[in-house]
């Protein structure tokens, strides 16, 4: 069969999947659980609306999926809460079900390329499994970027709280000021903590929730300092000034280390990606030249040895360029 036929089959498959997704989104927007909850709330606040009090709640509940059946199935999976917490920390709008669906879609699209690529099926399945992790890697990269932005914004937030305390504001009011004045991503997190305190959550619990949502070491120092000060007393404004100064100095030191290790990180990326890029280029230019690697048993041993050596080299270079402070 020609290449055009395979390309048409893949495009037809993608079109059918997107069409089904569109139909599901349309149906869910009118008949799904979210639409039913909105309708129930509108009926409750309308004139003459009758609804039981236990069905109304001011608490926001994060669902793993919009489908009740999928929600029950995901709740049975082990450590599914850690995956949902990862999505929350990344600031992504995806749910756990959407993340798993995107991973499965990437795997199916990669498997559909098997007839077009002259690579053995086991190798292609392994490649599909690795490529299927791309949505997860995207979420992890968003999480790392968001946490880095929060770490950079933390000294300004701590200084604002310190100035608000010196001006006579309460600590919860200072948190509200940070939530209003600071930009995302750290502003909404402090605003969430302020709203939790207003809804009646204890300050210790609200600050602990903040440390759970934002796993940044410097922010945890801030939370610990606040909790200790509430137990032992002291001038919280001076403590926060010290924390802000310490965080700024650590960030400056991290920037210097990042500059000094830039050459090593670039070398690690080049040496790690060069064999795969070269193999892909050879596979496109001269496919027969690469067949000996999977047609001869010695070729499989060479591939295994090369992968083990590359893994050890990457781990060793990572250990060299990572400087703990």
- pLDDT tens digits, residue range 106-121? 888 888 877 777 777 7
CA distance 276 to 280: 6
Higher local confidence (pLDDT), 291 or 238: 238
What is the structure's pLDDT at 194? 93
What is the structure's pLDDT at 167? 92
pLDDT in tens, 249-291: 988 888 888 888 888 788 888 888 888 888 888 877 887 777 7
What percentage of the chain exceeds 70 in pLDDT?
86
As a residue count, the chain comes to 325
Nearest in space to 174 (alpha carbons), one of 165, 183, 187: 165
Q: Which two tokens stand for residue 125?
A: 């399945």
Higher local confidence (pLDDT), 75 or 146: 146
Helix, strand, coil percentages (3-state) for the chain, rounded to 5, are 80, 0, 20
CA distance 311 to 306: 9
Higher local confidence (pLDDT), 270 or 15: 270
Band of pLDDT at residue 40, cut at 50, 70 and 90? low
Q: Which CATH class is domain 146-259?
A: mainly alpha
Please report, for residues 155, 285, 306, 308, the alpha-carbon distance to residue 302 in angstroms, rounded to integers and kept in the order given.
51, 22, 6, 10
Contact 66, 33 (CB under 8 A): yes
pLDDT in tens, 153-212: 999 999 999 999 999 999 999 999 999 999 989 999 999 999 999 988 888 999 998 988
CA distance 115 to 141: 32
Q: Where are the alpha helices (DSSP H) in the chain?
A: 3-31, 33-45, 68-75, 80-90, 96-111, 121-131, 134-166, 171-181, 186-198, 203-213, 217-232, 236-260, 262-285, 287-290, 292-295, 297-321
CA distance 66 to 56: 19
DSSP-derived 3-state class of residue 168: coil
What is the structure's pLDDT at 153? 93
Band of pLDDT at residue 3, cut at 50, 70 and 90? low
Band of pLDDT at residue 294, cut at 50, 70 and 90? confident
Q: What angle do CA 193, 206, 242 make, to 5 degrees?
A: 80
34-44: average pLDDT:
59
Nearest in space to 83 (alpha carbons), one of 59, 105, 104, 100: 100
What's the mean per-residue pLDDT of the chain?
81
Residue 91 CA to its chain's centroid (Å): 7
Least confident window among 131-135, 147-151, 152-156, 255-259: 255-259
122-151: average pLDDT:
88
pLDDT in tens, 43-65: 544 444 444 444 444 445 567 77
């Amino acid at each position: 069969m020609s290449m055009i036929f395979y390309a048409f089959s893949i495009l037809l498959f993608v079109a059918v999947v997107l069409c089904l997704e569109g139909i599901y989104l349309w149906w869910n927007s009118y008949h799904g659980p979210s639409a039913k909850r909105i309708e129930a709330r509108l009926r409750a606040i309308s004139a003459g609306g009758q609804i039981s009090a236990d069905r109304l709640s001011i608490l926001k509940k994060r669902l793993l999926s919009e489908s009740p059946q999928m929600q029950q199935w995901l709740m049975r999976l082990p450590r599914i809460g850690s995956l949902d917490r990862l999505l929350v920390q990344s600031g992504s709008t995806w749910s756990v079900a959407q993340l798993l669906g995107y991973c499965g879609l990437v795997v199916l699209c990669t498997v559909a390329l098997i007839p077009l690529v002259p690579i053995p099926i086991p190798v292609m399945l392994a490649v599909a499994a690795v490529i299927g992790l791309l949505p997860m890697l995207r979420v992890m990269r968003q999480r790392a970027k968001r946490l880095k932005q929060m770490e950079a914004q933390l000294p300004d937030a701590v200084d604002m709280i310190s100035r608000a305390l010196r001006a006579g504001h309460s600590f919860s009011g200072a948190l509200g000021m940070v939530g209003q004045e600071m930009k995302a991503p750290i502003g909404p997190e402090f605003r969430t903590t302020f709203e939790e305190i207003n809804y009646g959550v204890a300050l210790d619990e609200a600050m602990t929730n903040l440390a759970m949502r934002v796993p940044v070491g410097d922010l945890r120092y801030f939370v610990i300092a606040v909790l200790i000060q509430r137990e032992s007393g002291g001038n919280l404004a001076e403590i926060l000034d010290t924390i802000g100064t310490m965080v700024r100095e650590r960030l400056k030191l991290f920037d210097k280390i990042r500059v000094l290790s830039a050459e090593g990180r670039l070398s690690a990326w080049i040496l790690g990606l060069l064999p795969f890029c070269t193999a892909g280029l050879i596979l496109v230019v001269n496919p027969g030249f690469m067949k000996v690697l999977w047609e001869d048993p010695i070729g499989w041993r060479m591939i295994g040895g090369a992968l083990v050596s590359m893994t050890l080299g990457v781990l060793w270079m990572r250990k060299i360029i990572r400087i703990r402070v």
